[in-house]
Amino acid sequence: MKVDAYALTDKGDSRALNEDAYGIFSQEQFYVVADGVGGRQGGEVAAKETVNQLFYGVHRLYNLLANCSEQEVQNLLKLNVDETNQVVINKGLAHTELKGMASTFCFVFVFLDMAYYSHFGDSRIYVYREKKLRALTQDHTVAQELKNSRKYLVSKQQKNTLTKAIGLTSEQSTKIQLETIKSGDIFLLCSDGLLESFSEREIEKYLSKEQAPKELIKEMILDARNRGAKDNITAIILNVS
């Protein structure tokens, strides 16, 4: 499968720093978005470290995958996420100014005719297929847990509280999921800054346009800025053919 990818990031209207990071690694067909956790020291460092370590692991393992089963690929990717988490934890412990740093992430790894994907936190992955948008991930937040249990938010703090993030704790379960890819699929990976501006219905309308990823992603981020987006905004669009 051929993947045409493009990414863009913007710091938004109210942030002094862009604490988002992304990576497009075309040779390995590995694509990742990370969002440094707001309110924690070193969010920018955590996001960049997350992207770099996740890619390093995939690059290191890439030549071993040819003879692996799907389950073995999943196990290797899970190990990579777990190692990345520990690297970020250790770096935060080693540097006082980075204490408590953490980052969300979401990634898609295309191998043969499968998309292997994973995430921590509220960075999301969508697939647009046959004129319909589908969320592949569900946020790791207190708000989502309350929604799942049909309970209501008590405070705004609950809405923004993550239950998983790279660097948060060493005791986190990692899940690597699979999606069979088809020609014509469009994948969207994004930080929560994009989601603050658009509903899923609006995202579906954007992805239904017959535009190159580069032009489409520019339009989405410009429109988000015009709506007064305050948070950092990062997105990757993947067109599969």
Mean pLDDT of 169-192: 96
Total residue length of the chain: 241
pTM: 0.94
pLDDT for position 93: 93
Band of residue 232 on the pLDDT scale cut at 50, 70, 90: very high
Angle at 69 between CA 66 and CA 75, to 5 degrees: 100
pLDDT for position 158: 62
Mean pLDDT of 157-177: 89
H/E run at residue 18: none
* pLDDT at residue 98 tops 70: yes
Give tens-digit pLDDT for 122-164.
999 999 999 999 999 999 998 888 878 777 665 666 667 899 9
Band of residue 1 on the pLDDT scale cut at 50, 70, 90: confident
> What structural domains and CATH numbers belong to the chain?
3-240 (3.60.40.10)
In order, the DSSP letters of 194-233 are HHTT--HHHHHHHHTS---HHHHHHHHHHHHHHTT--S-E
* pLDDT at residue 49 tops 70: yes
In contact, 221 and 194? CB cutoff 8 Å: yes
